[in-house]
A and B are shown apart, each in its own frame.
Chain A
Amino acid sequence: MNNKVVFAGNLNFINLAELFQILGTNAGTGILRISTQYAPNECFVYFLNGNLINASMGTINGIDAIYSLFGWMEGEFEFTVKTVTNKNIIQKSRMEIILDGLRMLDDGLIEKIGPASQKKMSSDSFDHKLSGVPLLKGPLVDYMYVVDEEEFFNGEEIVQEGKHGGWIWVILEGIVEIIKETPKGPLKILRITDGSFIGSIASFLMQSNVRSASVRAAGTVQLGVLDSQRLAREFARISSELRGIVISLNKRLKKVTDCAAETWLKNNDTKKIIRDRKPIIKQGENIGKLFTITQGDAAIVRSTNNGHVPLGILHEGDFFGSIPFLDMGHEPYSASIYASDNLQTSSLDSNRLLKEYKQLSPTFKNLIDNITTCISATTMVACDLNKKNSPKKQG
């Protein structure tokens, strides 16, 4: 049994600590390979008789490579039985590594890497360490779609709110800030980094696209210009239902961003929003259905410990309900839907949409995932701003 994968699976089922223990009790000798779509490099961990002796991830080696793995909430692993010839550079025992890794994770010394929904878990007991502005990392960049590269320096404006523009970029390296201009001054909504996208799918539509927020470089940023023609062609090929969802999703991001700004300005009249409508999906409800609005409107509202937070109002053509492939931290699990009296809907076949979604190109999928992640993170920001507005109202 040499050079064969003997054990494989996903970290969201067997976590790293358990994995190390299993390989330890079986006194495994070989190479453990772990990869995740949220980190640029895969990691190799070398085992000799169940003990960890060496590891490498990109340019990081040894124990540091292993510790950073503890932040991976998702990822695929496979263990290959093999004679390892690597130098034994790790002196710590298996249990010490596991317990120390978990401690560092809990102490916030190791960065958690995973889908935004993981971070959402702690949104109600929001950690103030985050300095209020979340940093989002995207998946790996598919260079096939990058047609040109551009560099921006600290403080340079990449996109200006209110201006027309159709470029879509992917961040190759560096951090940019997404800023909403308000009467009270600029509001930093998000910071995004490697693998995230700048620009919106709305540029594929025939209408000219008005930028909904400003984007500024924080430090030197390397951007890749995406082949928008190719993406636009793909966009034109998908079914009108899926296209509708993607457009509506994009609008929803804009709405949530606007709501966050309004919350900051304390302009939201939540009471009126709820008074004029009746709830049709209650937060936390288990609804497997998906609808589009044909008449009337519906408001998305999340209830938190500090009261209701409006997240946007949906109109004709928008969807609501649960989408099997997207978790944007809204209805049905994390927000309610309040409908106007004249609301009419038709239901959508979510299974067919799922099938179609799966066939999209990786870059297109990433673009959609990026919008959902931003929606989820911006919602957190809106809730946090709301919390700051109502200090200790209910303890």
Chain B
Amino acid sequence: MAIFNLKKREIDCKIVYYGPGRCGKTTNLEYIYKAFKKQVSGEMVSIKTEGDRTLFFDFLPIGLGKLKGCDVRVQLYTVPGQVQYKSTRKLVLKGVDGVVFVADSLKIRYEKNILSLKDLQQNLKDYDLSIFKIPLVMQYNKRDLAEKNIPLMSIEKMERDLNQQLKVPFFEASAITGQGVGACLKKCLMLTLQSLHKQLKWG
């Protein structure tokens, strides 16, 4: 649940990038941090965790307007995938407002994607959140690797594997070049704000 800061007239909400290890969550956030530098407030925090990194920064989306006269500030996070980091995961997922699930298009990562999505569902459940209700966007990352003749899964297959029941918006992306990254975040932000509207019964 978003936090209202009446002093600063700001609404803080939390968007989390989730996905299997090495799927490109960190690259997503690094790209956003660089490409939208003007909208970023404060430094990017990067914590080295085993096999992965946890990133965090504050983001002020432009062009989404105000909510009831309050600026919207977004905290962007990635979550370390390893089981042992349960304290970090708890902090990050508690009160999460929106999720971008980054799936790896590489054929060999087929199973890792599915396991990670199940893991997300369980972790959300632990905080009384439902994967079917939370604002969620799918990102099929690493599409650029097709040009290098690396075997990728087709979008149809990924949709079938991951999105058949969820039916959430999906984006093809290449976090390393930035393609699809902005659109994906924007969609997630919109869904998050709509959901906030609904939760607060504003109109």
A103–B42 CB distance below 8 A:
no
A100–B47 CB distance below 8 A:
yes
Task: Say which residue of A70, A93, A99, A107 sits within 8 Å of B54 (CB atoms).
Answer: A99
Judge whether B108 is part of the interface by a CB distance below 8 angstroms: no
Judge whether A353 is part of the interface by a CB distance below 8 angstroms: no
- Residues in chain A near residue B49, CB distance under 8 A: 103, 107
By a beta-carbon cutoff of 8 Å, the part of chain A in contact with chain B is 17-18, 25-27, 70, 93, 95-96, 98-100, 102-103, 105-107
Q: How far is it, in angstroms, between the C-alpha of A10 and the C-alpha of B119 when the chains are bound?
A: 31
When C-beta atoms are compared, the residue in chain A nearest to B50 turns out to be: A107
Contact digits for B96-108, partner A, Cβ 8 Å, 1 yes 0 no: 0000000000000
Contact digits for B27-66, partner A, Cβ 8 Å, 1 yes 0 no: 0000000000000001101010110001010000000000
Judge whether B91 is part of the interface by a CB distance below 8 angstroms: yes
- Residues in chain B near residue A100, CB distance under 8 A: 47
- Residues in chain A near residue B80, CB distance under 8 A: 103
Task: Say which residue of B5, B12, B50, B56 sits within 8 Å of A99 (CB atoms).
Answer: B56
7 A-B pairs besides A18-B94, A26-B7, A27-B8 with CB distance below 8 A are A70-B87, A93-B43, A93-B45, A95-B45, A99-B54, A100-B47, A107-B84
Among the interface residues B3, B56, B86, B87, which one has the most CB atoms of the partner chain A within 10 A? Answer: B87
Q: How far is it, in angstroms, between the C-alpha of A353 and the C-alpha of B142 when the chains are bound?
A: 65
Given known contacts A25-B12, A27-B7, is B87 in contact with A95 (CB within 8 Å)? no
Q: Whole-angstrom distance from the CB of B60 to the nearest CB of chain A? A: 15
By a beta-carbon cutoff of 8 Å, the part of chain B in contact with chain A is 3, 5, 7-8, 12, 42-43, 45, 47, 49-50, 54, 56, 80, 84-88, 91, 94
Q: How far is it, in angstroms, between the C-alpha of A100 and the C-alpha of B88 when the chains are bound?
A: 9
A103–B91 CB distance below 8 A:
no
B7–A102 CB distance below 8 A:
no
Can you pick out 20 interface pairs between chain A and chain B where the beta carbons lie within 8 Å of each other?
A18-B91, A25-B5, A26-B7, A27-B8, A70-B87, A93-B42, A93-B43, A95-B45, A95-B56, A96-B45, A96-B56, A99-B45, A99-B47, A99-B56, A102-B85, A102-B88, A102-B91, A103-B80, A103-B88, A107-B50
Q: Whole-angstrom distance from the CB of B56 to the nearest CB of chain A? A: 5
Q: How far is it, in angstroms, between the C-alpha of A33 and the C-alpha of B56 when the chains are bound?
A: 27
- Residues in chain A near residue B86, CB distance under 8 A: 106
- Residues in chain B near residue A98, CB distance under 8 A: 91
A106–B88 CB distance below 8 A:
yes
Q: How far is it, in angstroms, between the C-alpha of A305 and the C-alpha of B101 when the chains are bound?
A: 34
Given known contacts A99-B54, A106-B87, is B3 in contact with A25 (CB within 8 Å)? yes
